[in-house]
Amino acid sequence: MQALASDNLTVEKEELSSDSLPDFSSESYKDAYSRINAVVIEGEQEAYSNFLDLAKLIPEHAEELVRLGKMEKKHMNGFCACGRNLAVKPDMPFAKTFFSKLHNNFLEAFKVGDTTTCLLIQCILIESFAISAYHVYIRVADPFAKRITEGVVQDEYLHLNYGQEWLKANLETVKKDLMKANKENLPLIKSMLDEVSNDAEVLHMDKEELMEEFMIAYQDSLMEIGLDNREIARMALAAVI
Ligand code: PL3
Ligand code: FE2
Ligand code: FE2
């Protein structure tokens, strides 16, 4: 009896610890992974096409932007391999719907030549989202996916950095557009996080932690761009109201 009681205690402790690794072969893990994996694959695919569009908006940096875009294709292939490795079929229709509002906003902005909004959506919002989620995922991923994601996250900083530098150099002329684009798009990131949080939980990724990591990456990036504390606070508040 004694031994049984203490065994139960150990199990309970392991389940409570968010850092403990999940059972990668369980049906519940594979089911949640089919959506999360698809979201990441679709996100990388759309990032590729967004960088090609950005290359058209900023022809003087076309070569660099195409190079950044090609990295996204590699990321996509890497994450496809992660799904295959776990024998999971990504739920791509789910992922397409998941990104549709944000992607439409990008395409609308592209159509009217609104570089600021395109950069905010792809380089700042999406890349901050990816960087924060990948960092949280790395702690609880299977060994194969962990290695892939560690390589990917390094590139994502280059993508974030590109947007930061451009917006910083043009800040005075784009500030109003930047605020407006933030107001329209940051709430979408918040709802997207809400939408995947249950599946992320199954992968042992904590929602609060995902939100914290995102807000840190996002606010850091706004600081790099040269916004002051008040402006950053005002922009961050768009996520809750
Ligand atoms: C651009 O380089 C990448 C765009 C991808 C965006 C991904 C968002 C991540 C969403 C939620 C949690 C994912 C965890 C990672 C798992 C493989
Ligand atoms: Fe990427
Ligand atoms: Fe990226």
Residue-wise pLDDT for 68-115, tens only, equals 999 999 999 999 999 999 999 999 999 999 999 999 999 999 999 999
Q: Is 51 in the pocket of ligand 1 (CB under 6 A)?
A: no
Ligand nearest to the CA of 86: 1
Percent with pLDDT over 90 in the chain: 90
Ligand nearest to the CA of 74: 2
Residue-wise pLDDT for 170-228, tens only, equals 999 999 999 999 999 999 999 999 999 999 999 999 999 999 999 999 999 999 999 99
- Ligand 1, residue 134: give the atom nearest the CA: 15
Among protein residues, the one with the nearest Cα to ligand 1's atom 1 is 44
Report the distance separating Cα 90 and Cα 88, nearest Å.
6
Tokens, residue 59: 């022809």
Q: Is 142 in the pocket of ligand 1 (CB under 6 A)?
A: no
Ligand 1: which of 98, 124, 129, 198 to mutate, judged by most atoms within 8 Å of the beta carbon?
A: 129
Q: Is 36 in the pocket of ligand 1 (CB under 6 A)?
A: yes
Burial class of residue 14 in the structure, from the number of CB atoms within 10 Å of its CB (0-12 exposed, 13-18 middle, 19+ buried): exposed
Angle between helices 127-138 and 171-202 (to 10 degrees): 30
Q: What is the CA radius of gyration of the chain?
A: 19
- Ligand 1, residue 145: give the atom nearest the CA: 17
Tokens, residue 5: 């009681």
Query: Among candidates 131, 126, 113, 112, which has minimal Cα distance to 185?
Result: 126
SS (H, E, C) 107-173: HHHHHCCCHHHHHHHHHHHHHHHHHHHHHHHHCCCCHHHHHHHHHHHHHHHHHHHHHHHHHHHCHHH
Which residues surround the ion ligand 2 when the cut-off is CB under 5 Å?
44, 72, 75
In one-letter notation, the amino acid at residue 59 is P
Q: CB under 8 Å to 127, separation ≥6 — which residues?
A: 156, 159, 160, 163
CB atoms within 10 A of CB 8: 10
